Amino acid sequence: MNQKNLEELIRSAQQPVIVTGAGVSTLSGVPDYTTMKGLTIKGRSFEAREVLSRPFFQAYPKTFWQWHRKQFLQAIELNKVHDWIARQKVPVITQNIDGLHRRAGSEEIVEFHGKADVGLCQICWQEIDLRDDKAIFSHTHGKTYDNTLDILADHVDTQIVLYGDAIDSRNFSLAQQWLSASDLIIVIGSTLQVYPLAGLVLEQESSKIIWIDKTKNEVASLYPDINFVQADFREFFEG
Ligand SMILES: [Zn+2]
């Protein structure tokens, strides 16, 4: 199986869908949750998954937003997998929160775990592009702030699905609909270990799933009828 074969399969499918996971983002320099660095507050250290939790966000909003900027907004660029996926014009369900499929031009996307590049103003309920300081400063709502962090910490909610948050029900049902209606599911760079999305994929007929990743894990061994393609994305997706 190579990139050309995959493109032919997509063209002959009625309703193909692509599912992406952390492996696609790490190529862009976004660390995955297990290797992401946490932080320390007054000698107490928090792992990344603790920082990405609702209780932490509520207790230390400013620290959260400071850390968030470093992790998700700096030095992140599209890679050739995003570009290839956008060219296929196929609906995408992603576990990644970096917004890169959107930036690459994919139009139908379910961002299952939310969005790191967008915040929600809790005064006017508009979405704010967090990569744009001017956009953040347009949400001072009559008060004076010295910097964007203060605005964010004061009244902007993260659009990341934090640990302790529920998956957005519209995203959940859309993903479920697309997967069950699909006759070809291509999984790229996901370990299929993070639920509930992994469950939604794995409950589909194995024969319609192609799963591309650099290593084969125990989930792949449990589903021998899934067409597993072991490949390095840098080589597989030639551009
Ligand atoms: Zn606002």
What is the average pLDDT across 135-157? 98
Gap from CA of 94 to ligand 1 centroid (Å): 27
Question: How many angstroms is it from 173 CA to the middle of ligand 1?
Answer: 29
Ion ligand 1 — residues with CB < 5 Å? 121, 123-124, 139
Q: 65: part of which helix (H) or strand (E)?
A: helix 61-68
C-beta of residue 232 within 8 angstroms of C-beta of residue 27? no
Angle formed by the axes of helices 61-68 and 148-155, to 10°? 130
What's the pLDDT band for 234 if we cut at 50, 70, 90? confident
Q: Is the pLDDT of residue 152 over 70?
A: yes
> Is residue 238 scored above 90 in pLDDT?
no
What is the pTM for the complete model shown?
Answer: 0.94
Please give the distance, rounded to the nearest whole angstrom, from the Cα atom of residue 104 to the centre of ligand 1. 27
Q: How confident is the model at residue 239 (pLDDT cuts 50, 70, 90)?
A: low
pLDDT of residue 35: 79
Cα separations in angstroms, 34 against 48, 76, 111, 125, 190? 8, 18, 19, 32, 13
pLDDT the model gives residue 31: 77
Q: What is the pLDDT of residues 46-67, one digit of tens each?
A: 999 999 999 999 999 999 999 9
